[in-house]
Structure 1
Amino acid sequence: MSGFATLDWIVIVSYFLAIGGLAIWVITRKQQDTEDYFLAGRNIGWFVVGASIFASNIGSEHVVGLAGAGAGGKIPMLIYELHAWLVITLGWVFLPFYLRSGVFTMPEFLERRFNANTRWFLSIFSLLAYVLTKVSVTVYAGGIVIASLLHIDFWTGALLTVVLTGLYTILGGMRAVVYTEALQTVVLVIGAGALTFVGLNAVGGWSGMREALEPGYLNMWRPASDPNFPWPSLVITSTIVGTWYWCTDQYIVQRVLAARNIKEGRRGTIFGGFLKLTPVFLFLVPGVVALALKNRGELQWDSPDQAFATLLMNKMPAGLRGLVVAGLLAALMSSLASVFNSCSTLFTVDIYKKLRPNTPEAKLVNIGRIATCIVVVLGILWIPIMQNISGVLYEYLQSVQAYIAPPITAVFLLGIFYKRINATGAMATLVSGLAVAVIRLALELAGDSIGTDNIFYTFGNVNFLTFAAWFFLFSVLVCIVASLLTPAPPVEKVKGLTFGSLTEEQKMANRNSYNAWDIVFSLVVIAIVAYVMISFTG
């Protein structure tokens, strides 16, 4: 395996200097109130919003895991990367309600729509979910990337990246996060794009890659009877998880909450949708290329999760290799920075401020910084446990999200589209959903130790995609039935927060917030998604 040349180190150091300079510039600006620290003063334009959405989503778990899915025969997993249409759904459907309510967080929106109990529940639940699926996975993947590239100990690499990213996130807040993410997006797309180009050239283009693979390898649509990726369950569950992640999760939505108005926020989601189309070509294709080269005897690696790094170190020329590494570091740092900032926002605004409403703004900012440090430690402690859940990193992420998403998606969708849903229905759905998710996760971890011929084994081992689809139906039924059996929410409580309760003035304001070009570009995103789905049929 090739090492780094002097030119590679120059590129990597230049990247860190650029990020450091940008972070220092942001840190010297005002950070004394919560709106500025947590939402960048609500004054972000569409380009930064879209780039931040993309950079927040694309972490090292995508670089390692999505490439691993491509190299490990899990092509159907790319459907999660075709959710660009859900990114624009955030802007067209959900964003007007969020910005109109003036909230800082998604739990705060639930309090406006339902009651304080739902806010408390989602705040604590979200913090736990970030430790389970975001902090730990990102740190683990980052450790793998850095250890394999820089030839250092895994834990040293993981801790080093956490400390470096934590410094500018804690000191600079949301403004430091979104502006550094805009720069990191550019570095990531150029770097990973160069690897895709070089890799395809090395394997003889798209046709050469397909020839080196077994027939049907690139088909993402498996039969309904497939034990791993039955296509009906894959489509339904990926949509459920995608709606939760892109439209209701603080981690992503916080970026559009920082937009200066609905128009900028929506255009940011459209731009983010275009960027979201790129991971298939930036990460999954290099994984497939690495497999094709391995089949031809030109590359060697032991685990699919090593495919991306192996292709990089063996096929990229000096200079470009350093650029790709800078892109990998950008992906890691942007994801970590985003989750750190989201965790501090949730804890400070939804928990600490609720308990101590008269706390000065400057103290709240410091509380957020302390909360970030605690979440990082918890995420690191979870890493050894998560390795037992799934063999492939990206699949682990999707399986755990499949247990978290259904009840939250049901509450938000029904809460916005059906004004009869009340706080009792929402709370019943969230509580029962948590119970089901915990039981499922515990039984999956238990494995064969509980026996193989009982209902508990079946419940814990049924395909996670099929499980999540039925879990969502269960959550919808609980929400509707519990709401219909109890009094309807007051008219004033839901006014302006559901489609059925919008005033004419609010409808007109929404119509005035977009033009024909916004519609055209949104339709282009949807058309490209459809084209990619059709292309990966064999």
Structure 2
Amino acid sequence: MSNSLATLDWIVIAGYFLLLLGIAAWVILQKQENSEDYFLAGRNMGWFVVGASIFASNIGSEHVVGLAGSGAGDKFPLLIYELHAWVVVLLGWLFLPFYVRSGVFTMPEFLEKRFNPRARWFLSLFSLAAYVLTKVSVTLYAGGIVISTLLDISFMQGALATVILTGIYTVLGGMRAVVYTETLQAMILVIGAATLTFLGLNAAGGWGSIVEEVGPQYMDMWRSSNDPEFPWHWLVLSSTIVGIWYWCTDQVIVQRVLTAKNIKEGRRGTIFGAFLKLMPVFLFLIPGVIALVLKQRGELAWDTPDQAFPALMMQILPAGLRGLVAAGLMAALMSSLASVFNSCSTLFTVDIYKKIRPETTEKQMVQVGRIATTVVVLLGILWVPIIEQLAGGSLYNYLQNVQSYIAPPITAVFLLGIFSSRINSNGALVTLFSGLAIAAVRLILEVFKGSLNPDSFLFTIADMNFLKFSSFFFLYCVAAAVVVSLLTAKPIKANLAGLTFGTLSEEQKESNRSSYTWIDIVASLFVVSIVVFIMIYFS
């Protein structure tokens, strides 16, 4: 096969982008001077669109490039982060009813209602910083790799092209443009990646041939407790902490569910999104292993594992199909970036700007959201060179590494805040602020680890396995929130009505019970059973 795109490929890609721009243009022409319409699509989405949007906003560059890179680079234990479908189900059953009842736009807004305005300020600024460190810059890094491979241009030109392609329709169209285009992008991505997996398996001689080539031990996601990289017990603990933060408290994902018509549609959207979430194992991880097998046979060439997926695509797909998968790759990059753009603008506009200038009109809020998006993109571009240093050819590993430092304080505060009425704002703030300091110190030490004295305490902290560090960090966060809360005054229970389990009224409990049927329960159990099956199979 040719290693460059043919005329037919370009026709397919052009057709896809014309369709995408058509949808975005239709949305932009709708009147959007209302902030709820711009940021939450009018809270009027059905379960199918909600689920597809959850999937598309999650399945981005870190999967197209990073997860395939994990499959090609002997990092199979990272598969556990793709088995968080059960956590997506948890979002719909446990967290969503509290969010919907509170009527919030954003997660910081929920923290303000549960604790106080300072908690809201903290999470708004913390989340914006986290998006620059992880979501925006990771997508730009991956976009640079993918688009430079496809178009034979430089890495930085590829990263900038990703921003420009996505930024235009996101800035102009808002959340409605994002969720509708994401639904299309999810379908394109699944079709394209599934085609690549099928043809890749055929080129490698089938699944049995692949397992025989790499050995069954290679595909074991459970390593011993003494493994220096991925000890299984710390992996389970840390990945669960990160999973709850990402799927149940993070603005990008939760914002998709808040666009639903009601709790029932939102919960069904999470169940559908959880089912879709199981597909990356087959759509991205397996192609990474296929790329490794073909490289070992001398049939494929790539320099770092992160190049495995685009290299495989360019090598084995025929003209036309290559264009479809290229469109799917760009769709993944654009959908994840579009999600972050919109969530960043929502966080800044609703949680920061509106608080400083409460007299701001709805139309001005939409304009400020557009400006905020642009600033976040510029910051993300500045962080890309640091990622090149930290990623070391494994983007997915970098992402899980940084997220394991960001997640513990936020996961602890949200979980304790919902489960216990005794946790107060003092406990939450001490946990959040000290957690930020600890996370920043660890990240800085990791960047400069090479210049530290190997016998020093700082080197010991920098060199500790990131999964182990994350687990102990979470235990500290829980202890800090509980101890400080118990040593200070109880919250006023009347102010927490409907925000914790202990303050739910009988009417609210009954309303929640009537929002699901046996179908929702069976569908949720089905998703969880598939997760268990995959965990057993890859052991």
Shorter chain as normaliser: what TM range? Answer: over 0.9
What residue in structure 2 maps to residue 304 of structure 1? Answer: 305
> Within 5 Å, which residues of 2 pair with 1:385-424?
385-391=386-392, 392-424=394-426
Structure 2: runs of 5+ lacking an equivalent: none
Does residue 1:434 correspond to 2:436, yes or no?
A: yes
Task: Note the alpha carbon deviations across 1:105-157, whole angstroms, 9 max, x for none.
Answer: 00000000000000000000000000000100001101100001110121112
RMSD value, Cα? 0.8
Contact 2:64–2:309 (Cα < 8 Å) also in 1: yes
Question: Counterparts of 1:299 and 1:2 in 2: how far apart (Å)?
Answer: 11
Deviation, 1:298, is 1.5
Does the residue aligned with 1:221 lie in a helix, a strand or coil? coil
Give the letter for the 1:369 counterpart. Answer: R
Deviation, 1:171, is 0.5
What residue in structure 1 maps to residue 507 of structure 2? Answer: 505
Question: Counterparts of 1:221 and 1:128 in 2: how far apart (Å)?
Answer: 33
The TM-score normalised by the length of structure 1 is 0.99
What residue in structure 2 maps to residue 487 of structure 1? Answer: 489
Does residue 1:459 correspond to 2:464, yes or no?
A: no
What residue in structure 1 maps to residue 374 of structure 2? Answer: 373
Deviation, 1:521, is 0.5
Question: Counterparts of 2:66 and 2:49 in 1: how far apart (Å)?
Answer: 26
Does residue 1:471 correspond to 2:478, yes or no?
A: no
- For this pair of structures, how many residues does the alignment match? 537
> Within 5 Å, which residues of 2 pair with 1:445-456?
445-456=447-458
> Within 5 Å, which residues of 2 pair with 1:101-500?
101-391=102-392, 392-500=394-502
Contact 1:406–1:468 (Cα < 8 Å) also in 2: yes
Deviation, 1:313, is 0.8
Structure 1: runs of 5+ lacking an equivalent: none
Contact 1:64–1:308 (Cα < 8 Å) also in 2: yes
Does the residue aligned with 2:32 lie in a helix, a strand or coil? coil
Deviation, 1:493, is 1.6
Give the letter for the 1:57 counterpart. Answer: N
What residue in structure 1 maps to residue 33 of structure 2? Answer: 32
Task: Note the alpha carbon deviations across 1:319-340, whole angstroms, 9 max, x for none.
Answer: 1111110100100010110000
Deviation, 1:215, is 4.5
Give the letter for the 1:376 counterpart. Answer: V
Give the letter for the 1:352 counterpart. Answer: Y
What residue in structure 1 maps to residue 15 of structure 2? Answer: 14
Question: Counterparts of 1:429 and 1:352 in 2: how far apart (Å)?
Answer: 25
Worse-superposed segment, 180-189 or 293-302: 293-302
> Within 5 Å, which residues of 2 pair with 1:507-522?
507-522=509-524
Q: Percent identity?
A: 68
Question: Counterparts of 2:147 and 2:387 in 1: how far apart (Å)?
Answer: 19
Task: Note the alpha carbon deviations across 1:34-66, whole angstroms, 9 max, x for none.
Answer: 100000011011111001101000112211110
Contact 1:8–1:323 (Cα < 8 Å) also in 2: yes
Contact 2:100–2:263 (Cα < 8 Å) also in 1: yes
Question: Counterparts of 1:448 and 1:372 in 2: how far apart (Å)?
Answer: 35
Worse-superposed segment, 209-218 or 133-142: 209-218
Contact 1:60–1:142 (Cα < 8 Å) also in 2: yes
Give the letter for the 2:10 counterpart. Answer: W
Contact 1:92–1:266 (Cα < 8 Å) also in 2: yes
Does the residue aligned with 1:389 lie in a helix, a strand or coil? helix
Question: Counterparts of 1:170 and 1:479 in 2: how far apart (Å)?
Answer: 38
Question: Counterparts of 1:279 and 1:260 in 2: how far apart (Å)?
Answer: 28
Give the letter for the 2:311 counterpart. Answer: T
Question: Counterparts of 2:385 and 2:303 in 1: how far apart (Å)?
Answer: 20
Task: Note the alpha carbon deviations across 1:47-102, whole angstroms, 9 max, x for none.
Answer: 11001101000112211110000000000001100000001110000000001000
Does the residue aligned with 1:497 lie in a helix, a strand or coil? coil
Contact 2:141–2:387 (Cα < 8 Å) also in 1: no
Question: Counterparts of 1:454 and 1:161 in 2: how far apart (Å)?
Answer: 42
Contact 2:81–2:243 (Cα < 8 Å) also in 1: yes
Question: Counterparts of 1:294 and 1:340 in 2: how far apart (Å)?
Answer: 37
Does residue 1:525 correspond to 2:513, yes or no?
A: no
Deviation, 1:270, is 0.4
What residue in structure 1 maps to residue 91 of structure 2? Answer: 90
Question: Counterparts of 2:4 and 2:364 in 1: how far apart (Å)?
Answer: 47
Question: Counterparts of 1:329 and 1:284 in 2: how far apart (Å)?
Answer: 18
Give the letter for the 1:268 counterpart. Answer: G
Give the letter for the 1:337 counterpart. Answer: A
Runs of 4+ in 1 over 6 A off after TM superposition: none
Does the residue aligned with 2:526 lie in a helix, a strand or coil? helix
Contact 1:27–1:171 (Cα < 8 Å) also in 2: yes
Contact 1:58–1:331 (Cα < 8 Å) also in 2: yes
Question: Counterparts of 2:215 and 2:498 in 1: how far apart (Å)?
Answer: 54
Question: Counterparts of 1:67 and 1:494 in 2: how far apart (Å)?
Answer: 45
The TM-score normalised by the length of structure 2 is 0.99
Contact 1:104–1:257 (Cα < 8 Å) also in 2: yes
What residue in structure 1 maps to residue 4 of structure 2? Answer: 3
Deviation, 1:2, is 2.2
Give the letter for the 1:315 counterpart. Answer: I
Question: Counterparts of 2:43 and 2:453 in 1: how far apart (Å)?
Answer: 54
Task: Note the alpha carbon deviations across 1:457-481, whole angstroms, 9 max, x for none.
Answer: 0111100001000000000000000
Question: Counterparts of 2:304 and 2:440 in 1: how far apart (Å)?
Answer: 30
Question: Counterparts of 1:340 and 1:269 in 2: how far apart (Å)?
Answer: 21
Question: Counterparts of 1:390 and 1:55 in 2: how far apart (Å)?
Answer: 23
Question: Counterparts of 1:107 and 1:199 in 2: how far apart (Å)?
Answer: 44
